[in-house]
Amino acid sequence: MSQLEPSNRHKCSLINFIKLYFDYSYFLCLCPFRFVSDGDRGFITQTWLPQKVLTGLAHTFSILMLINDLRDKLFQPSKDYNRNPVAYFQILDSLFNLAYKSTLIKRVWWNRQDFLFVFEFIWNRKSLNNTSNIILKPIVVHTLFIFYSLLAGASLIAGKGFVSSLYEWTPSWWFRRIVALGRHAFFIDGPLPSKYAPELSNITTVEYILAGLMATGLISRFILGFFIDLCILSMTLTLWSVIHSFSLSIQSDSYHKWMSKNYSTLTLTQNNTKCKSWQSIFYEWDTIRRLSLLINNAMGSLVIWFLLEALMYYSVNMDAFLLAKDVFKKSYLFAYYFGTLTIFVFSGNICNELEEIKSWLVDDENRKPVGYHDLKLILHEMIEKTIGIRGMGVFTMSYSSFATFGATIVTFFIICILQQQTTK
């Protein structure tokens, strides 16, 4: 074992977001596994056959409903595609939404090992074990996940997306709308008007079963809709916490105390302080680089589909929060907006933190003990932005990409508004 490797394990708060995300996803039948301790051998992914069956059913009906949404937008005869560009944005939104959620489902079933690699890497690095901030506090993480879980349940009860707000909500009306949705999803009925619901006396036994399946698909869809963004957010906040902690540490006056805390076996004598200081810095940088690579490998193409889906959705619904008339709808939209904005803010801040580290490294006093080759390597990675939340290695999410993304949304939104006014 290298002298820079941890000699024993400590309680690690950095894993809170990732561990609790998969714990909640496991119990909500969004993910077929969770991380559990395996004693001295570290962690393993735990699965349970009944839970895997329920998760498989939930995923199947979630995808079925997303396909139905796309089908409705493609073949709804009332859409005037020649004169209304909003219809095309809505079609693309449904298509990208299907690809986005299908990607997460695929990765939790067939790429679970990539998530385990992230988890084990964090647990086995002593310096990462000591990373801590208020965002990583269990109470903060639990509060966030509980809020989104309750909101998903409330969305089902309120009938979001299938019970029109123009009609008074009643249990009978809610159930009959689910039956109507089941008829439509399984091609028993044609297009689904917002005011249509069969009478209870006309509902068959088979349709009661379909209603139960649709209710399963609806709650799964709502959970998936909220928690898929939380997957990217969990990974983003984990990487940000490490980089932010490192940035603060190397720029603080107590840097040598930080090194002695992280490397108890490191001897800082007057003659070799500079050499050993750089050795620890380079080790930390290599840790950050490897963690960034593992996180991006685990997410796969999720980031690209997240951006494409958000681009289409917000191009049409940028003002939806302001136009919403009831508190529940505002809360629902706020949760989506908050998740998207938080991902962008912390992804961009990762790049800013790296710039601060670069500024510290190129300072004449600080770079004296730095080998030319090592310094050149680190600066190259910073300039090329190879560390951060990336979209399949094509780009890195930064504040500049956020500005470009926002400008594109505003442009598309204005085009849609102007085109709608000219067609009235």
Q: Provide, rounded to the nearest whole percent, the portion of the chain with pLDDT above 90.
A: 33
Q: What is the pLDDT of residue 302?
A: 94
Q: What is the pLDDT of residue 59?
A: 94
Question: Taking 70 as the threshold, does the pLDDT of residue 88 lie above it?
Answer: yes
Q: What is the pLDDT of residue 235?
A: 94
Give the pLDDT band (50/70/90) at residue 20. Answer: very high
Residue 4 resides in a domain: no
Residue 38 resides in a domain: yes
Mean pLDDT over all residues of the chain?
Answer: 81
State the Cα–Cα distance between residues 346 and 295, nearest whole angstrom: 15
Question: Taking 90 as the threshold, does the pLDDT of residue 24 lie above it?
Answer: yes
Across residues 184-188, what is the average pLDDT?
Answer: 78
State the Cα–Cα distance between residues 391 and 243, nearest whole angstrom: 19
Q: What is the pLDDT of residue 213?
A: 85
Give the pLDDT band (50/70/90) at residue 379. Answer: confident
Digit-coded pLDDT (tens) for 225-258: 999 999 999 999 999 999 998 888 776 644 544 4
Residue 11 resides in a domain: no
Strand residues in 298-380 grouped as ranges (E): none
Overall number of domains in the chain? 1
Give the pLDDT band (50/70/90) at residue 270. Answer: very low
Q: What is the pLDDT of residue 215?
A: 85
Residue 418 resides in a domain: yes
Range in 127-131, 263-267, 277-281, 375-379 with the lowest mean pLDDT: 263-267
Distance of CA 125 to the CA centre of its chain: 24
State the Cα–Cα distance between residues 181 and 60, nearest whole angstrom: 16
Structure tokens at 82: 């020649």
Length of the chain equals: 424
Q: Evaluate whether 61 touches 216 at the Cβ level (below 8 Å).
A: yes
* pLDDT, greater one: 5 or 64: 64
Structure tokens at 95: 């298509």
Residue 75 resides in a domain: yes
Q: What is the DSSP string of 8-22?
A: S----STTHHHHHHH
State the Cα–Cα distance between residues 382 and 290, nearest whole angstrom: 14
Across residues 153-175, what is the average pLDDT?
Answer: 78
Q: What is the pLDDT of residue 263?
A: 44
Q: Provide, rounded to the nearest whole percent, the portion of the chain with pLDDT above 70.
A: 79
Question: Taking 70 as the threshold, does the pLDDT of residue 160 lie above it?
Answer: yes
Range in 28-42, 53-67, 199-213, 255-269 with the lowest mean pLDDT: 255-269
Which residue segment(s) compose the domain that 206 sits in?
16-422
Across residues 83-104, what is the average pLDDT?
Answer: 88
Q: What is the pLDDT of residue 132?
A: 73
Question: Taking 70 as the threshold, does the pLDDT of residue 89 lie above it?
Answer: yes
Question: Taking 80 as the threshold, does the pLDDT of residue 195 lie above it?
Answer: no
Q: What is the pLDDT of residue 230?
A: 94
Give the pLDDT band (50/70/90) at residue 266. Answer: very low
Give the pLDDT band (50/70/90) at residue 355. Answer: confident
For residue 418, what are the contacts with CB-CB under 8 A and spacing of at least 6?
none
Give the pLDDT band (50/70/90) at residue 333. Answer: confident
State the Cα–Cα distance between residues 378 and 233, nearest whole angstrom: 26
Q: What is the pLDDT of residue 252?
A: 66
Q: What is the pLDDT of residue 190?
A: 67
Across residues 97-123, what is the average pLDDT?
Answer: 93
Helix axes 273-299, 372-383, angle to 10 degrees: 30
Residue 9 resides in a domain: no
Q: What is the pLDDT of residue 374?
A: 67
Across residues 288-308, what is the average pLDDT?
Answer: 93
Across residues 171-183, what is the average pLDDT?
Answer: 85
Q: Evaluate whether 85 touches 416 at the Cβ level (below 8 Å).
A: yes
Across residues 281-289, what is the average pLDDT?
Answer: 83
Range in 58-67, 155-164, 254-263, 309-318 with the lowest mean pLDDT: 254-263
Q: What is the pLDDT of residue 10?
A: 43
